[in-house]
Amino acid sequence: MASAGNQKLACPICNQTDQVKTTQAAYDAGVTRCAPPDMPTRQISMMSYIVFGILIVGICILLIFILIGGMGSHINEIFATVIVAITLVCIVTALVVSYIAFQRVVRGDAEATVLLPEWDRALERWKELYYCSRDDTVFDGQTKQVWSDEQLISLRQIGGQAAEEQPAILVQH
């Protein structure tokens, strides 16, 4: 058992302390299965909105050039009005597409934010785990329960609360 002093935690399998480290230290040393829980994020694809917006703005610029260039050559008034109307529609369309894209990003951020408390709990749980290099074992520092790879994967994924409740092996002294 670890105490408030410098006494290290013993592995529940080999009962040694010299190869025991926190999961953070193990992960930093290259043990990938000791990775911390993934922070919840949402990947929102914006490429279609960007391409569509560029296309609309390009059309708008082209129509403005036609309108400005046509003024010097005394463009027909009806044709100029149509070009101005289409240009305004292009501008409004680009603004609407931008607004829709922005709302998608905001919605994705809100969905990820809802998962943050669960991620915080998983991260706190992960910080209570230790790794023994000698036995290649991850265990709970308080209960001495050894964790399986499936439990570690479940903890890393948001929604992995089942791993906390079902230890794979219970080692008693």
- What is the average per-residue pLDDT within 10-17? 87
Among 38-42, 94-98, 126-130, 162-166, whose mean pLDDT is lowest? 162-166
In a 10 Å sphere around its CB, with 0-12 CB exposed, 13-18 middle and 19+ buried, how is residue 80 labelled? middle
Name the H helices within 128-172: 149-156, 162-165
Q: How far apart are CA 118 and CA 34, in angstroms?
A: 19
Above 70 in pLDDT, residue 87?
A: yes
Q: What is the pLDDT of residue 72?
A: 55
137-140 and 129-132 beta bridge pairing? antiparallel
Q: What's the pTM?
A: 0.58
pLDDT digits (tens, 9 = 90+) for 92-107: 998 899 899 899 988 8
Please answer whether residues 42 and 109 qualify as being in contact, where contact means their C-beta atoms are separated by less than 8 angstroms: yes
- What is the average per-residue pLDDT within 58-64? 83
